[in-house]
Amino acid sequence: MNSRMDVVGHSVERPDAFDKVTGGKGYPVNVRLPGMLHAKMLRSPYPHARIVRIDASRAEQLPGVKAVLLPKDVPQIKFCPVFFVPAEAPSMVLDFDVMNGEIVRYVGQPVAAVAATTAAIAEAALELIDVEYEALPAVFDPEEAMQPGAPQLHPNSPNNIAVNPSFVAGDIEQGFADADFIFEGVYETQRVHTCYMEPRVCVVDMDRQDNITIHVTTQHLFGTREKLAFALGLPESKVKVVKAPYIGGGFGGKLELTAMEPVAALLSKKTGRPVRLEQTRQEDFITTTRNPIKVYLKTGVKKDGSFTARYAKSILDCGAHATHGAEVINVHGAFGLFFNYHAPHAKWEGFTVYTNNMIGGGYRGYGAPQGSFAVESQIDEICTKLGLDPIEMRLKNARKQGEPHPFNPAFTLSTYGLPECLRQGAEKIGWTAAIAAPKSEGAKKRGFGLAVHPVWVSGCMGFPDIYEHSGAMIKLNRDGTADLATASMDIGSGQIVTLCQIAAEELGLPAGAVRMSSQSDTDNVPFDAPTHASRVTYSSGNAVKTAAAAAKKRLFEVAATMMEVSPDDLEVAKGVVSVKGAPGKSVTVAEVARRAESPFVQMTPEGPKPTTIEEKGTIIGMASLSPKSNPTPCAAQFVEVEVDTETGQVSVLRAVYAHDIGRVINPAAAEGQIEGGFQQGMGYALMEEIQFDPETGACLTSDFLDYKIPTAVEMPRQMDSIFIETNEPTGPFGAKSIGECCVITPAPAIANAIYNAIGVRFTQLPITPEKILRGLGKI
């Protein structure tokens, strides 16, 4: 590995930061088009009902109302709205529709929409739409939904089972027979929201010839194009999705088409004007979530701590439509439950189950947090019972660098720095001394906990039907800078700066000399898979590096002609192309770029001089490719907590997070990812939960007054990030990726630390103060 690079590995300033501190233009929420109308959707108050009749005549009369959209106006097409798979992906469930006129299956399902001159008028018009419903029995618990006689949500899914994946390795009965001890537990996780700060919003212009231009909060430019076109029965090329320079957070929450985009498009066509549809925070809370999963986990262990067998059954509540739930269950089974540790005999059964709850969605970690909570809690229980060291126990059973990839036989775990993550993390928090004698004062008990987890980076293959490839275009400018254009969305995690750094390093330009185009759309940049699955640094980064390498090849050809040397003899750094071993003989990148775009005859002080045909042509590079692997970042998380045994409140005092993410492209950005990931994981562990009225199915936590996420006050005062920089051979400059590890381990680490503090094991998230007091027998 290049031990020291000029641009990669440095905390280069984000080029987007200036815009963001001076007012923050460039988000979809700020798009204002002349003549724009405002739309609102009417949503079902019933969790399960038949629509008998819709009468919008009163709404149409309201002054200012320009159009009403009813189910009969919407193409009735069933498809999978998840961006990273084809709309008719055979591995997914094709049960989603934009607005059906027959059945509502959750509270909040859109049944009509209005476009008006103001949002207030549109909202007032909703109250004038009369919908007659015939209530149907509803079911909210997935295990009840699987019972015979439960209300059925979809015709072709007996017992409400949307998908039922499974796998078997070895002989599970034999494995348990080989065990000295068997541990069983049931671990339950809750429904949580990603809580991106920018609400879902779109501004759509659809003309009489069905040409659509859409500005939208999305994690996937091309996914939006494909799904919106599909939902409306149009060819993809009819839809132009404009890449917003910035998106106000996503975290997996803007990874599928919802009714919003097609409804706004159809209203635009009806009115002949652009239509803006902005969801309220209440609507966002019932649009996507992380699926709750209940895990039955049974593990056979030898006296020495080695696993002999592992059986798990996972029940995932996908809500009214399968959407992401059909894939989350797979990632959960493979990576959430069975990646961390070897078990010679293993069996898993997964159930994605329909209920009359809101539709689940994508959320950072994508099934792994739910699995990790079970696995990393139970291994702690095993260590406690058998008196084993939790670090040694994990290392004994963990997968190791160089081993075959457990789910992708084509790969080996080429880099997997888990042992070093554990060692350095433990050293930083002072694990050995800390765990032996946690400090406590009176009613406040302290404890330490740890958890580890690997993550799957979307790369070249893996789960069926997933789009993987990335594209990039790069162009050198005559002033020695370069323009980069990709479809990769920066949702806040630093994709712009990271990709620009990779391009700059490859092209030998200074940091800051590569600029991300702010004028891209699906017409003018190549396809890229979504910003999801920890993939952008690795996958998009590889495309950017390859495009930059192509531009560099052309740069050297032109420079070689200018300098009358062979291109093979050239190198470039800090914006200067020079002959290897002869640093004095050089030209700047700017000079080369100017030369390539110069007129055929150049005027010089010495008089007119011809250039050659071979030198002509803007220096560009392009790539569209899949990288060579699906690498595996991993992390070890250590926390110290303080539990108030009188109120049940838990404070996380300190977090130490050691990550192997391969080569770190931008350390400050990577730290920011980890600190933010920990915040989300901590909220998941201790406070966050979307709750519903058990009778009506209505959401009780639909704003930030009722759905609590950590503020600056609850966060630990000390957060340490440690990077174990393995050099991933297939990664751009050795990088893997960072997006998700950091959000997966906080919940089990905190649960383990709470156990260490008070001796009570919690197997249901979130571990609220109330649960703590119940666990302590105080209520």
Stretch that binds other proteins, among 29-37, 329-337, 378-386, 422-430 (CB under 8 A): 29-37
Q: How far is the CB of 687 from other proteins (least distance, A)?
A: 5
Q: How far is the CB of 125 from other proteins (least distance, A)?
A: 11
Residues 278-297 that bind other proteins (CB under 8 A): 278, 280-281
Q: Which of 775, 722, 716, 727 is nearest to 750 (CA)?
A: 716
**Binder to other proteins among 335, 678, 733, 755 (CB under 8 A)?**
678
Smaller CB distance to other proteins: residue 338 or 678?
Answer: 678
Pattern of binders to other proteins over 9-28, x per CB under 8 A? Answer: --x-xx-xxxxxxxxxx-x-
Residues 98-127 that bind other proteins (CB under 8 A): 118, 120, 123-124
Q: How far is the CB of 644 from other proteins (least distance, A)?
A: 9
Q: How far is the CB of 669 from other proteins (least distance, A)?
A: 7
Q: How far is the CB of 153 from other proteins (least distance, A)?
A: 25
Q: How far is the CB of 172 from other proteins (least distance, A)?
A: 40
The whole-angstrom separation of Cα 488 and Cα 469 is: 11
Stretch that binds other proteins, among 95-103, 140-148, 240-248, 502-510 (CB under 8 A): 240-248
For 691, the token pair is 């709750």
Q: Verify binding: residue 668, other proteins, rule CB under 8 A.
A: yes
Range 166-169, long-range pairs (CB < 8 A, 24+ positions): 166/347, 166/348, 166/349, 166/350, 167/333, 167/346, 167/347, 167/348, 168/346, 168/347, 168/348, 169/343, 169/344, 169/345, 169/346, 169/347
**Binder to other proteins among 144, 381, 521, 675 (CB under 8 A)?**
675
**Binder to other proteins among 256, 671, 725, 728 (CB under 8 A)?**
671
**Binder to other proteins among 45, 151, 438, 676 (CB under 8 A)?**
676
The whole-angstrom separation of Cα 428 and Cα 674 is: 16
CA separation (Å) from 569 to 369, 560, 617? 50, 8, 22
Q: How far is the CB of 779 from other proteins (least distance, A)?
A: 5
| CB within 8 Å of 387: residues ≥ 6 apart | none
Smaller CB distance to other proteins: residue 170 or 199?
Answer: 199
Smaller CB distance to other proteins: residue 253 or 627?
Answer: 253
Strands (E), 136-208: 161-163, 166-169, 181-188, 201-206
**Binder to other proteins among 155, 609, 712, 777 (CB under 8 A)?**
712
Pattern of binders to other proteins over 323-362, x per CB under 8 A? Answer: ----------------------------------------
Smaller CB distance to other proteins: residue 485 or 496?
Answer: 496
Q: How far is the CB of 307 from other proteins (least distance, A)?
A: 34
Smaller CB distance to other proteins: residue 562 or 776?
Answer: 776
CA separation (Å) from 518 to 469, 479, 489, 578? 21, 19, 11, 32
Smaller CB distance to other proteins: residue 584 or 777?
Answer: 777
Q: Verify binding: residue 436, other proteins, rule CB under 8 A.
A: no
The whole-angstrom separation of Cα 573 and Cα 183 is: 58
Strands (E), 439-486: 444-454, 470-476, 482-485
Q: Verify binding: residue 45, other proteins, rule CB under 8 A.
A: no
The whole-angstrom separation of Cα 257 and Cα 723 is: 36
Q: Verify binding: residue 180, other proteins, rule CB under 8 A.
A: no
Tokens 């070249």, residue? 460
In this structure, are residues 249 and 198 in contact, taking their beta carbons and an 8 Å threshold?
yes
**Binder to other proteins among 190, 194, 314, 629 (CB under 8 A)?**
194
Q: Please list, residue by residue across 387-402, b when 16 or more beta carbons sit within 10 angstroms of its beta carbon and e when fewer do.
A: ebebbebbbbbbbebe
In this structure, are residues 516 and 482 in contact, taking their beta carbons and an 8 Å threshold?
no
**Binder to other proteins among 477, 649, 651, 764 (CB under 8 A)?**
649
Residues 474-493 that bind other proteins (CB under 8 A): 491-493
Smaller CB distance to other proteins: residue 225 or 771?
Answer: 771
Q: Verify binding: residue 140, other proteins, rule CB under 8 A.
A: no
For 469, the token pair is 């490839």
Smaller CB distance to other proteins: residue 30 or 764?
Answer: 30
Q: Verify binding: residue 632, other proteins, rule CB under 8 A.
A: no
Stretch that binds other proteins, among 221-229, 423-431, 559-567, 663-671 (CB under 8 A): 663-671
Q: Verify binding: residue 697, other proteins, rule CB under 8 A.
A: no
Q: Verify binding: residue 417, other proteins, rule CB under 8 A.
A: no
Residues 489-528 that bind other proteins (CB under 8 A): 491-494
Number of residues that bind other proteins (CB under 8 A): 77
Smaller CB distance to other proteins: residue 276 or 345?
Answer: 276
Q: Verify binding: residue 711, other proteins, rule CB under 8 A.
A: yes
Q: How far is the CB of 32 from other proteins (least distance, A)?
A: 7
Q: Verify binding: residue 37, other proteins, rule CB under 8 A.
A: no
Greatest Cα pair distance in the chain: 94
Pattern of binders to other proteins over 442-481, x per CB under 8 A? Answer: ----------------------------------------
Smaller CB distance to other proteins: residue 443 or 582?
Answer: 443
Which sign does the torsion angle of CA 569, 572, 576, 582 carry?
negative
Q: What are phi and psi of 332, to 5 degrees?
A: -60, -50
Q: Verify binding: residue 710, other proteins, rule CB under 8 A.
A: yes
> In DSSP terms, which residues pair with 375 in a beta bridge?
none
Tokens 């939904």, residue? 145
Smaller CB distance to other proteins: residue 41 or 589?
Answer: 41
Distance between terminal CA atoms of the chain?
A: 58
The whole-angstrom separation of Cα 317 and Cα 314 is: 10
Pattern of binders to other proteins over 744-773, x per CB under 8 A? Answer: -------------------------xx--x
Q: Verify binding: residue 778, other proteins, rule CB under 8 A.
A: yes
> In DSSP terms, which residues pair with 135 in a beta bridge?
49
622: three-class secondary structure by DSSP: strand
Tokens 């015979």, residue? 148
Q: Verify binding: residue 708, other proteins, rule CB under 8 A.
A: yes
Strands (E), 228-377: 239-242, 275-278, 293-301, 307-319, 345-354
Q: Which of 298, 232, 309 is nearest to 267 (CA)?
A: 232
Helices 541-563 and 495-507 sit at what angle, rounded to 10 degrees?
Answer: 30
Q: Verify binding: residue 30, other proteins, rule CB under 8 A.
A: yes
- The pairing of strands 275-278 and 166-169 is unpaired
| CB within 8 Å of 509: residues ≥ 6 apart | 7, 480, 481, 482, 503, 574, 575, 589
Q: Verify binding: residue 679, other proteins, rule CB under 8 A.
A: yes
Smaller CB distance to other proteins: residue 173 or 770?
Answer: 770
CA separation (Å) from 287 to 193, 247, 675? 9, 18, 26
Stretch that binds other proteins, among 301-309, 520-528, 591-599, 698-706 (CB under 8 A): 698-706
